[in-house]
Amino acid sequence: MAPASPPASVQVMNRKVQSVQVGRNVTFSCRSVAKEDVIQVTWQKEMDGAEDNIATYSTINGQKISKAYVSHVSFAHSELQASAISLHGVTLQDEGCYKCIFNTFPSGAVTGRMCLKVYAISDPRVETKLISGPDKAEDSEKMVGMSCSATGKPAPKITWHLPSILQQKPREYHIKFSNQTVTVISNFTHTHSKILQEYPITCMIQHPSLNVTLVLPTDSLEQGPDSSMALPIAIALGVLVPLTSLLILTCLFYQCLRHRRDAERNPT
């Protein structure tokens, strides 16, 4: 019969795998249950097979935090039998596994281990725009481009809620970045018609740290793709036409006046 495994000497007080969104705070907490004296408590982060010292606490030296972590790590609790540290304004680089090490006498070090997963989500958006076809005629069929996108870690999931008359499979693109975030873009096109104003179209973005439904804007579709130029053109025409007419009348007036003077100087 195999011998029973010894009880754990360190108790991790929080979940052994915690999840947090970028910018939030997180706390790791450990307690020694060994029946021995604790000389020092050390906190470390696992870094590619090595350990990076974050902080230590002892009765002689008190709280010590390494320079690389002093800006966003603090002790939430510091005793020889129990210790806790907090990470403030978590970044993607904080993801990984951490150790609390109780150096006891006479047995030596006993360790607790916990891990952190960091989520990120940004720029959820949905937009529409009119797409002019190759045929520039006024009665040519216009298309509407619809796009929904977001950037996150892990990659956000995008789904469309469409009326049955518009059911189609959108095209989806993934753009990966060096910081492990992924931009997901989902889009499709449809013939511009009143259907887009009559039926609500929504895009749902799902992510461990965010679930949001965005309504497709249609106010930009009420005007044509060149609507931004319509007012300047109208103003230009309103000014140029009267000026041109005035110029023509002025020329005709001077032409008639010249003929009259010539007739007076050279009577038949």
Same domain, 87 and 135: no
Same domain, 138 and 179: yes
> What pLDDT is stored for residue 226 in this prediction?
40
Structural domain of residue 16, as residue ranges? Answer: 10-119
> What pLDDT is stored for residue 63 in this prediction?
96
Same domain, 200 and 212: yes
Q: Among 188, 206, 221, identify where a domain stops.
A: 221
Distance (Å, whole) CA 82 – CA 38: 10
Same domain, 146 and 157: yes
Distance (Å, whole) CA 93 – CA 130: 41
Is the whole model's pTM more than 0.75, yes or no? Answer: no
Same domain, 103 and 170: no
Residue whose token pair is 């929080």:
14
pLDDT (tens, 9 = 90+) of the chain, 268 residues, equals: 444 434 557 888 888 999 999 999 999 999 998 888 999 999 999 988 889 999 999 999 999 999 999 999 999 999 999 999 999 999 999 999 999 999 999 889 999 999 999 999 998 999 888 776 655 555 556 778 889 999 999 999 999 988 877 767 889 999 999 989 999 999 988 776 666 677 778 899 999 888 888 887 766 555 444 433 333 433 344 445 455 665 666 666 666 566 656 555 555 5
Q: Among 221, 236, 258, identify where a domain stops.
A: 221
> What pLDDT is stored for residue 199 in this prediction?
77
| Domains held by the chain: number | 2
> What pLDDT is stored for residue 143 in this prediction?
79
Helix (H) or strand (E) holding 206: strand 202-207
Contact 43, 103 (CB under 8 A): no
Contact 150, 200 (CB under 8 A): no
> What pLDDT is stored for residue 145 in this prediction?
85
Residue 115: partners with Cβ closer than 8 Å, 6 or more residues away? 16, 17, 18, 96, 97, 98
> What pLDDT is stored for residue 137 in this prediction?
54
Tokens found for residue 110: 């006993």
> What pLDDT is stored for residue 239 in this prediction?
44
Residue whose token pair is 């790791």:
28
